[in-house]
Amino acid sequence: MNTAVDSSDSAPAPNADAQGGAAPRKAGRRDWIPVNYDLRDTWFPVSHSRDVTQRPIRRIIHSQPYYLWRDDGKPVASEFRPDAPQSARARTSAFTGGSGFYPVVERYGYVWAWYGNPDHVDVLLLPHIPFLPLDGSLPGYTQRTVRFDATSALSVENLLDLTHADFLHAGTIGDGISESDVVEVEWNSETLTRTRIVTQKSVAPIMRWVGGVRAKYQDFRAVLHVHLRSNVCISYPRFRPGYDVPNLQPFLPVGRHRSRCDVTFNTTAAPVPLRYVMPRIAFVIQPQDNSVVRPQNERYFDPDERPDLHSRFDTPGTRYRFQMESLAQRQQRGDFSYGSDADPGRDISGLLGMNG
Ligand SMILES: [Fe+2]
């Protein structure tokens, strides 16, 4: 396992060329262009389970259609609608090996579909999400859907930079005043984990209003575990005094200008009304985040603007860029395998700090 604490030890390599579609600007030596990532051979949580019924719905992963429905209760993911004529069924792609049907698994309250070569499918590559029941048996209030006018990788980078919350979300999560604030990052070729530990931080307003926390200050530890290929972000914030707010934020890469996030907040152990209010703050926080990522995403398509105003002192962000670039370059060379250092399905309860 590789680790770093508050140091900027490597610069991101320039992005490789785009694969098809409207061309964003050419990357300069120092520019990171997140809109080009199209990483394959991974599971995407394409939909909350409860949204998949007998009636077909459509999801998009990098312009590739995924029609989802249930047949006899079992989820089906296909390139065409169930009522599609024979002529449409003949137009199948390599993503389904010509069968028209994607590999599909239901777990953690999501329908997961494979994006890549179906010959490489492996259920052991599904992420481990220790705070979600395997059978997805959580009440509906824990689930929300938000959309961002930005590519997935930019949305993930925004989430990694947790310090943005101190000014962008100060009204709900709390300001930047604290005794100490340490950010650590560790990674392998498939995942990156950022931990932020803050002592004696101004108490989060939402914990005071609806969580019954009377203290003026609280300790805060937030772990974010990112699966690089799929943008699945497993987030475990812990407030003391206060509560754990484990949540899943999977950014579905709809396209270069859009990502979709079917969120789950498992607040079932928190007191009422925090239990019900916390999942809803996604609707407060999303416009705040979107107001930052939307104009930034547009810069990557404008030849007159310097696209990137990244700080090299943002260690998790810099590392994220470097790891994404390494994966993308490997895939461009035709190598879609998982390295021996990576085990996407490993137990991460300890890593998330759930046991301590
Ligand atoms: Fe945010």
What are 45-88's pLDDT values in tens digits?
A: 999 999 999 999 999 999 999 999 999 999 999 999 999 999 88
**How remote is the CA of residue 154 from the centroid of ligand 1, in Å?**
12
Kindly state the greatest CA–CA separation across the chain: 66
**How remote is the CA of residue 319 from the centroid of ligand 1, in Å?**
19
pLDDT of residue 13: 38
Q: Is the pLDDT of residue 101 over 80?
A: yes
pLDDT bracket for residue 307 (50, 70, 90): confident
Cis peptide before 139 (omega within 30 of 0): no
Are residues 70 and 157 located together in one domain of the fold? no
> Which residues form the domain of 69?
42-116
Alpha helices in the chain (DSSP H): 86-89, 152-160, 165-168, 205-210, 274-280, 282-299, 315-332
What are 261-300's pLDDT values in tens digits?
A: 999 999 999 999 999 999 998 889 999 999 999 999 999 9
> Looking at the 3D structure of the chain, how many domains does it have?
2
What are 327-352's pLDDT values in tens digits?
A: 999 999 999 999 999 999 999 999 99
pLDDT bracket for residue 176 (50, 70, 90): confident
**How remote is the CA of residue 164 from the centroid of ligand 1, in Å?**
6
Task: Report yes or no on 52 lying in a domain.
Answer: yes
Share of the chain above pLDDT 70, in %: 92
Are residues 78 and 194 located together in one domain of the fold? no
Q: What does the chain come to in residues? A: 356
**How remote is the CA of residue 282 from the centroid of ligand 1, in Å?**
9
Mean pLDDT of 190-204: 96
**How remote is the CA of residue 120 from the centroid of ligand 1, in Å?**
34
Are residues 325 and 290 located together in one domain of the fold? yes
The pTM for the full model equals 0.93
CATH number, domain with residue 72: 2.102.10.10
Are residues 30 and 53 located together in one domain of the fold? no
Task: Report yes or no on 353 lying in a domain.
Answer: no
Q: Is the pLDDT of residue 220 over 70?
A: yes
d(CA 40, CA 31): 23
Are residues 108 and 242 located together in one domain of the fold? no
- Which is more confident, 33 or 61? 61
